[in-house]
Structure 1
Amino acid sequence: MNSLFIDKAPEDTRVIVAMSGGVDSSVTAAMLKEEGYDVVGVTLQLYDHGEAVCRPNTCCAGRDIYDARRVADQIGIPHYVLDYEEVFKRDVMEYFAETYVHGETPIPCVKCNETVKFRDLLETAKDLGGDALVTGHYVQWEMTDQGAILLRGDDHRRDQSYFMFTMTQDQADYVRFPLGGMCKDETRELAKKFGLAVASKSDSQDICFVPEGKYVDVVEKLRPGSLEAGEIVHVDGTVVGKHDGIIKYTVGQRRGLGIAWPEPLYVIKLDAENKQVIVGPKEALMEYELTINGVNWIGFTELPDEGRELVVKVRSAQPPQPATVYPLEDGRARVTLKDGYAGIAPGQACVFYEGERMLGGGWIETAA
């Protein structure tokens, strides 16, 4: 049994490493190469920043592809660039735009994992003869008698298990996450040790296809006319202002409302049908119950009618909090939060945990 829990010698184990051009995936590839694995690097051409915002040649994803190829050459592994632009636009960017238009807040990284990476790239990895698809995510992976389980990254500040909740058991069995027990500082030290050209490359702070965080430009490009004007309405029914598009607002937002009011106002809800931004005091954000759809479980399939006590995250950066999850029909569930949460946003995810283990989750539909 090798370090990836595959019953082969490393030199007889082919691993397909998803290389984004960043530090994490580069270190992952270098570590496995040093251990003697048969490593193949794959980079996906997903988007062009300039094309996304209708300004060709302003900023291109080619820079990251170049960095991935440079690292592959440096550590001596084959490297392939695959054109996934069409599927990425269809399954991630279109979803991103449509979700905003409906007054919700999308998580494109989850949708990318669900479709492009752990559906399409995973099948490509198998076609390339890979024994595993390996990524640089900060998620811990363990094999049990019932199959693989996913746990929070050891460094909770970097944990990315929240973004994996749509994964199937078969996918979990096939992927590996060697960085799950490390922190970012350790990863960068390894990058320096290996002499990687990307050792000092900064982490991206934006959604990959949204240059400089200007997501409204992307939505407008994909959904022309989505910036429709409407009213800003207080929870008491008072019209307090005007807006030029609900896609510019998210639940919990305080800044940028442009409203003179005796107390601070927050976005409480987005009513896409009536083109209204509903605002109110901070206490109006607090919710104790929500419904979710598209519920997915990893290694667990049934909920008792009386519900199950777990801990959940309703935002990626939020610490898990106690909750009870109750089954509903059609792949839906009701979640009650013991301590409540201020700013539950439809379109985000509610992800289930039992201790450190991530059990799955669903898409937030409504808060009540």
Structure 2
Amino acid sequence: MKHSFSKNKSIPKFFQRYEERINFALRKEYEKLHGNIYDTHKYYMGWTDENGKKINAIGGKRLRPNLVLLGAEAADGDIELAIPFAVAIELIHNFSLIHDDIEDMDELRHHRATLWKLWGIPGAIISGNAMLKIADLATNKKIKINEKIKLEASHILSSRYLTMMEGQFLDIDFESKLEITIDEYLDMIQRKTGALIEASLHIGAIVGQKNLSMNDQKIESIKIIGKEFGKIFQIKDDMLGIWGDEKTGKPVGADIIKKKKSLPILHAINYAKGSNKKQIKNLFIKKRNLHNEEIKIILRIMEELRTSEYCENLLNSTWENCYQEIISSNINEKIKLELIELGKFLLTRNV
């Protein structure tokens, strides 16, 4: 079954329902934290500029904390019980981005200077580590959650965080390799990106419950949906990294410049033949970023191989699996529609 979502690019409406709660809870974590290291966090979250002046910069979409609260509602739970974990997951995500910016030597994120660019690499590493510990503190407070449920949610969070680290290490390891299969790549993104997205819905579903035996089938469906959302998010991200738009901060060929082993690039490497294969290999062994003419060569080869169509088909088939899980689950109809709305957004987003 094909779903026509090409015109739906707006942020899901349920984000607005949770926005105030999430932002209030995130800021509250820093209410009593003062000092230079926390100033770096406030900058990264978009609350201040590099001089500490209060602003309201456009930050991330807060996808993961929104998923935590939606997961709680999907399992008919109490979203207030899920808020500490929503905060923790958003902080863990931002910690990973701070370190990711260093690994990729990216100087901008959301059109603002990255932490390492302003405070240096050692400072950014320490800042990221501190943010991770604040995430731990967020879930260690006295909250009205069944102790067994809290323990289970904390275990899932730690486990998925570790899986994310495994994926990040694999991603770095792939940089020195040329022959990587699509299956190896999909395993890597399921770890690096998918683990925390899956955990967001799953943990939300668990922590809103009164006991662990409630809604087992529903919670399993929510977990599967989260896993598929993780795949969709990264496949789309990879497509934007090749066929992006300068206006959205993802110029055409952005990932080719850095020879990033994303899905479209691996498709080209794996399926190119003859002189095309040789050209790609010669370009990717260069010890520098690629220039415009070299980018055009890769884009031409991708066009010949119909790489864009391959990625689009994989994206749609992944969504089909997710969609079927949503409609066949025993989640209430209102939340089903919101999960579908989120799917539309993830499929068609341009940032």
TM (norm. structure 1) is 0.31
Indicate the structure whose relative CO is greater, using CA pairs within 8 Å and at least 6 residues apart: 2
Q: Quick check: which one's strand share is greater?
A: 1
Larger Rg: 1
